[in-house]
Amino acid sequence: MCPSNKKPRASVALTQNARVVLERRYLKKDRDGKVVEAPEDMFRRVARTIAEADLKFDPKADVTKTARRFETLLMRLYFLPNSPTLMNAGRRLGQLAACFVLPIEDSMESIFETLKHTAIIHKTGGGTGFSFSRIRPRQDMVLSTAGISSGPISFMTVFDVATETVKQGGTRRGANMGILRVDHPDVEAFITAKNDLKKLNNFNLSVALTRKFMEAVEEEAPFELVNPRTGKTVASVPAKKIFDAIVDSAWRTGEPGVIFIDRINEKNPTPHLGEIEATNPCGEQPLLPYESCTLGSINLTKMVVRGKVRFDRLKKTVHEAVHFLDNVVEVNRYPLCQIEEMSKGTRKIGLGVMGFADMLILLGIPYDSEEAETLAEDVMRFIQAESRKASAALAKERGNFLYYPGSLFDRPETPYMRNATTTTIAPTGTISIIAGASSGIEPLFAVAHKRHVLEGKTLYEIHPLFIRIAKKQGFYSDALVREIVASGSVQHLDKIPEPVKRLFKTSHDISPEWHLRIQAIFQKYTDNAVSKTVNIPQSATRKEVDALYRMAYRLGCKGVTLYRYGSRAKQVLSIGPDKTESAQIAPRPRPERTHGITQRITTGCGKLYVTINSDEAGMCEVFAQMGKTGGCASSQIEAAGRLISLALRSGVKVEAIAKQLIGIRCPSPAWQNSKMVLSCPDAIAQVLKAVTQADLEETDTMLGVCPDCGGVMTHQEGCLVCHSCGFSKCS
């Protein structure tokens, strides 16, 4: 047989975890759930579909050539678009945008019309942002019925319930951003709305702070609250009182975040279309009503070759990515005609980055250093400049965006612009796993950790650059790896050289001030905004949180999300006032870092994921969740976990707890490993009895159990994310 002249099909270099995530979430499956598409096929499908948009502007365009270029871009992992594009391009749904903003006016008709539109968007896998600032305050007059208004928070609850209902329909999770202006009369109730962690779980909340308010805070002056229905002042309160409430709530639970709404509108490229009032669920994309965002990220790790940044490669990648994203705007199947009209009218795209922390390591630069600031400035300034050049070049061929005002905020000299915005730093949780890169502009999540993936599989991951350096410098050992996996950090290990420790700091090893400084540098050269979590230690005081908000405003950020380590977990396990009578048993406080495992066990109701964590005194908490279940089953399982955790931290022996739970029956028992599992409580008891303290040697900050894989949820990029399977609460 003669040898074939046909070239072998190119393959993409993916980590094992990337392949697992792709199979779980992205690749085509048949009716039986069997994967029928390889990662390479997915990239070709996406490249071909997006390239076809060229024909709309030039009937003679060489689509095959464009598709090959896009395919190379994706297969080399230089750039990846947001998840909906990877999932849906070239498939029946065809909805390629990640997030949307919808209007809410002060009428029942508007509120429930928007609710309907929200359900439609969530059904297609999108997230939604709203400003509730136009709704009249609680106890205000309803003229048409002579009744009393229930206020914006009550309507937020309606949206939350609707989101939960759509979610239970088996679709990709919907997420919401709820925003309220700081001068709304209900702002104090809004600030504390999520202090009860059972409420508004499908919402992120942010307060829209005005320049007038920030000045009043600085001067400790009174601040006027205005009824949006009448435009009249209804109260004057100390601005510091409102600011302190924001600080206190963020210190307790990590919410609300804040956005600096006047600063956002100063950079609004289309002010003639109206003011921006809301953002997408993670806060990085301010949008007008009915706009959607088309996002993608450049993998910065691929822009470093032999210890130097390849700006020539970066330039080519930026231009190809802008072409790609503008094509996405064109071929997207929008869920509503209003969204299609606005999205094609402004053609906003958001080109961002991932792998910044890895890039720093490749260049030998610590994250918390002036050298890192300089690199961030050089890279993002270059990306912004080149993305605008690419957009201008497209405009010469295809025309300016429809609502082009003639000049754009800080670039009046630009006669051509295809896209109203070109840059955004968006969350990259799942696509960064696919790319094998660190998330967005965040520091490392951990130097080494476990990933819990589909069907109970566990992958152990150690940062490849750490392995390379450790072996080169001669301090690598299996025992060292076990020590790192136990905590994720290397800062406490004496056997690791200080320069290496400096290079491999994780998000909780970086001071909050440095988190903010890096965010501010990227914001300086980003058209839209920056999605990032500023991690602060559990020991941080409210005064320190106060200072960080002021610092974010002073540095020019458009918004900020703070998360105090362990605050939510502590809040979940709190059952009352801190002070207790001497005769009562007081549970020991939850430490800053715990260690543990997640065990999957089959019950008659489905697969139950049981996470057991320990501190220095032994087992201290239990979390359990059953896949995507909700309603009564979910609440009962959560209640059992809370009570078990409370008992453990109050000194009750594990054996005594298990004895009370073992043998409880439900109508649907199951078998696992030749053993009967009688119920969910019985399953938890079996795990408690089987797990030894030696098993509890590693885990990460426990903010809850991933509903998809049972892994650990952590706070990153302005949202709760799972590093095991890429699940994000905000997508």
Q: Which residues have a catalytic role annotated?
A: 280, 282, 284
Q: In terms of Cα–Cα distance, which of 171, 239, 169 is closest to 209?
A: 239
Helical residues (DSSP H) of 184-299, grouped into ranges: 187-191, 211-219, 239-253, 261-266
Question: Helices H, strands E: what count in the chain?
Answer: 24, 27
How many Å apart are CA 175 and CA 281, to the nearest integer?
6
Alpha-carbon span 521 to 524, nearest angstrom: 5
Q: Is 498 exposed, middle or buried (0-12, 13-18, 19+ CB in 10 A)?
A: exposed
| Nearest partner of 633 among 562, 683, 576, 582, judged by Cα | 683
SS3 600: strand
Q: Cα–Cα distance between 677 and 690 in angstroms, integer?
A: 14
Contact 249, 256 (CB under 8 A): yes
Q: In this structure, is the dihedral angle defined by the CA atoms of residues 355, 361, 366 and 372, taken in order, positive or negative? A: negative
Phi-psi region of 146 (alpha: psi -120 to 50; beta: other; left: phi over 0): left
Alpha carbons 324 and 373: distance in angstroms, whole number? 29
Q: Residue 49 corresponds to which amino acid?
A: T
Q: Name the residue with tokens 């009967």.
A: 676
Euclidean distance between CA atoms 518 and 521, whole angstroms: 5
Quote the distance between the C-alpha of residue 426 and its chain's center. 8
Number of residues written out for the chain:
731
Alpha carbon distance 112, 479 (integer Å): 59
